[in-house]
Structure 1
Amino acid sequence: MSIFVILGLLVCIEAPGSSAVTPVFVKKGDDLLLNVTEDVPQRFFVFVWIFKETVLVTVSHQGELLVSDAYTGRVEFPLKKFSVKLKNLQEADSGVYTAQAIGEVQQTLKYNVIVQAPVSPVGLTVDSVSSSSDSCNLTVTCSTQDSHISSTLRCDTQTCSQEGGERSEVTTSGASLHVYLVNDSIICNHSNQVSWTTNMMNIQDFCPQHVAPVSPVGLTVDSVSSSSDSCNLTVTCSTQDSHISSTLRCDTQTCSQEGGERSEVTTSGASLHVYLVNDSIICNHSNQVSWTKNMRNIQNFCPQHAGSSAVTPVFVKKGDDLLLNVTEDVPEDFVVVVWKFRENILATFSPDSKTKVSGAYTGRVETSVKKFFVKLKNLQEADSGVYTARVVAQEEQTLDEYNVTVQAPVSPVGLTVDSVSSSSDSCNLTVTCSAQDSHISSTLRCDTQTCSQEGGERSEVTTSGASLHVYLVNDSIICNHSNQVSWTENMTNIQDFCPQHAGISVCLVKTVVFSVGLIIMVSAVITVHIMEKLKKKKL
């Protein structure tokens, strides 16, 4: 009886220092797991889940479990860490669910659960069309069971625009209704936090647009400059007839695009965009009938070092072992030294010279008590991330942090000669340097004496983050593929394709040698003749 008296007080009195309410949306009929994210004190008196003012479940410190009769069969408890699973939720189950642990200190966790029915299908109708040889106007209606929006689209031979821009409305059931234009499609969308439906129509079905599909788009990283806590990239988004350059500035946590999204209308009337979405740079080329896209992940060029800027970058080849040392002094009175990977404990070192490797890393980690180092074995790409050594003494501090990047060896590289055009005194070659996921083309122009590379050395960062280079050294074209742990190379001799480019000709060499020899011989004869005359005069 005493427990129920206490529970009655709990549902009537707000606990001091209650945590913020976490909103949770769930679809009608689904189950929901509510987790207890804080540690529950070991010496609690009673733990309780409450919905509004109704007690769902309780558990005493002796482990006695009590589920309210009204929720028998609808609640699963206890689960791991006092979590509760609510089954087959209905709209009437919406409200605040509170978890309370009562002990020497009272802890409270709250979820505001909102149960929503899936949105109804959405309809999109074209109400009217008026067109001429160079323009076309449409009026459309986007509708659901309880709401609708009308909008007008105005098109010429190249582009379409939505009068007043995107239209939206909140329906009587609290969902969102949108009608908007994307390229040459009219889209009607009906959504809430748990579901969505969409309907779309192609404007060309009503206003034929005679526009050729857009060409493929290229996205190249032109330059990267980085330090321990920042990284700047310059990229170029390009098509056959246009290009845009943009600069990205990143710190250890976020990236921003200088000047925001960049866009341009190409000479063919298409749209070219380069923009930032999360950690990806996206280059998009589109017109009313087609689109192409290219993207690069910023982290392939600027590894994000969460936390301290004193993180030491380390690159290691896939399958190799790696030794991580503690370079800072460990206090003599330390309690424990801990190596962590992200949020997982790898190994611990205690003052009594005992070490313990976490079960998940048994056989994959070797330790040394003397130096507190860890040896990571047979590293794979999934093992990339920040490894931290921390010590607990009179205060807790970080000893060392390493940002480990595991890279596979680069793939072999190919160098092909695509075309050769030559005359008696010149020769031009176009070559392609290629890896599995990228390629670069370059043109070499030669006369009888020298060769030059049009535009100088060419380089590109591949989608896997490696570097691809094609460049000229003396009479050789070299294609190089490398990352921080490996490299491959291929080379071709220009003289195999441009015989007229062979440096100084043999004939010229023979002529020079013969001329020099003849001059020496004539000089010797003249010298001997002069010396003999001088001797006769003296006599």
Structure 2
Amino acid sequence: MQHYLIFHVSLKVVSACDQLRIDAALSSVVDFNNKTFSLTLKNMQKTHSGLYTAIASGESDKDIVTYRVSVIDAVEAPVLTVNSSGSSDSCTFNFTCRGHVFTLSSTFVYDSCSREEVTSQINTLILDCSEESIICNHSNPVSWKEDRINITQLCEENERRQMTTIFYVSSYKIGLIIVCVVVGVIVFAGLVLYCFCKNKKGVKQADDTDYDDAETQKMTGDTWTTVTYCTVGGHQTPSSAHDC
């Protein structure tokens, strides 16, 4: 009896008794064991995808087993992106998992998140988390790759970042208050000085007015306005002296 493997219905690996014949087109991709009748495929290309059928040939052909072989590429590495949720909680995050043409999103709150999964044809994308990590896994029947982030470390870093932000905000507020107080003191001192100078100027003007009144009175008093006329004999020119 003769056993042979049909590849794409045209290429054959043939074993007749103890003799082995491998089609030249398959010699680089198959290892056939004529004792166990097992076939190992190697160096596969996408063109090698198809049906592989083991047939026992005698008076009539009998199909023993048929396999459909698909040669597919390894998956691309997924990308996991984690963003702060904007919450005051230092261990709450929104994250996105991207792989192939898929995108999954979820929210991590402390040690839990909702598991998300999507499958299309031969590719599967899974987004999951544990107490320590967020995991983005992209796989197909021949390979898998993942991207993960240590959530414990992320929580600690976010907490430090929030504390730093609080410190700077507090420092800014304190600095602003100090500046406002200093400006207020300067303005108040300026007003006090202005009022003091204004009052002092008013007092000086009042003193000057009193002095002018005294001078006016002195110049218009009896000493300056009194004229004594002496008539001795004939007509004489008036004199401003007190004694004649």
Fold match by TM threshold 0.5: yes
Matched, 1:400 2:60: no
Residue of structure 2 in register with 1:490 after alignment: 147
Residue of structure 2 in register with 1:337 after alignment: 3
Matches within 5 A, 1:143-182: none
Shift of 1:360: 2.5
**Structure-2 change in CA distance of 1:349 and 1:497 (3 Å):** closer
Q: Distance in 1 between matches of 2:40 and 2:155?
A: 54
Residue of structure 1 in register with 2:119 after alignment: 461
| Contact 2:11/2:25 (8 A) holds in 1 | no
Residue of structure 2 in register with 1:452 after alignment: 112
Identical-pair percentage: 31
Indicate the SS of the match to 1:366.
strand
Give the TM-score taking structure 1 as reference length: 0.27
Residue of structure 2 in register with 1:507 after alignment: none
Matches within 5 A, 1:107-506: 334=1, 336-351=2-17, 353-423=18-88, 425=89, 427-444=91-108, 446=109, 450-453=110-113, 456-462=114-120, 465-499=122-156
Superposed CA deviations along residues 381-414 of structure 1, whole A, max 9, x for unmatched, are 2222221010122432112222223232222121
Q: Distance in 2 between matches of 1:474 and 1:501?
A: 16
Q: Distance in 2 between matches of 1:366 and 1:436?
A: 34
Matches within 5 A, 1:24-39: none
Indicate the SS of the match to 1:410.
coil
**Structure-2 change in CA distance of 1:426 and 1:377 (3 Å):** closer
**The structure with more radius of gyration:** 2
Matches within 5 A, 1:95-114: none
Higher strand proportion, which one?
1
Shift of 1:376: 2.5
Q: Distance in 2 between matches of 1:417 and 1:394?
A: 67
Indicate the SS of the match to 1:498.
helix
**Structure-2 change in CA distance of 1:409 and 1:500 (3 Å):** closer
Higher helix proportion, which one?
2
Shift of 1:482: 1.7
Indicate the SS of the match to 1:411.
coil
Structure 1 residues not aligned, in runs of 5+: 1-333, 503-539
Shift of 1:379: 0.7
Aligned residue pairs, count: 159
**Structure-2 change in CA distance of 1:375 and 1:427 (3 Å):** closer
Read off the aligned partner of 1:485 and give its amino acid letter. V
| Contact 2:111/2:130 (8 A) holds in 1 | no
Q: Distance in 1 between matches of 2:111 and 2:28?
A: 56
**Structure-2 change in CA distance of 1:497 and 1:343 (3 Å):** same
Q: Distance in 1 between matches of 2:154 and 2:35?
A: 62
Q: Distance in 1 between matches of 2:151 and 2:22?
A: 58
Shift of 1:370: 2.2
| Contact 1:413/1:434 (8 A) holds in 2 | yes
Superposed CA deviations along residues 482-512 of structure 1, whole A, max 9, x for unmatched, are 222222222113344434999xxxxxxxxxx
| Contact 1:437/1:462 (8 A) holds in 2 | no
Shift of 1:481: 1.4
Indicate the SS of the match to 1:412.
coil
Residue of structure 2 in register with 1:286 after alignment: none
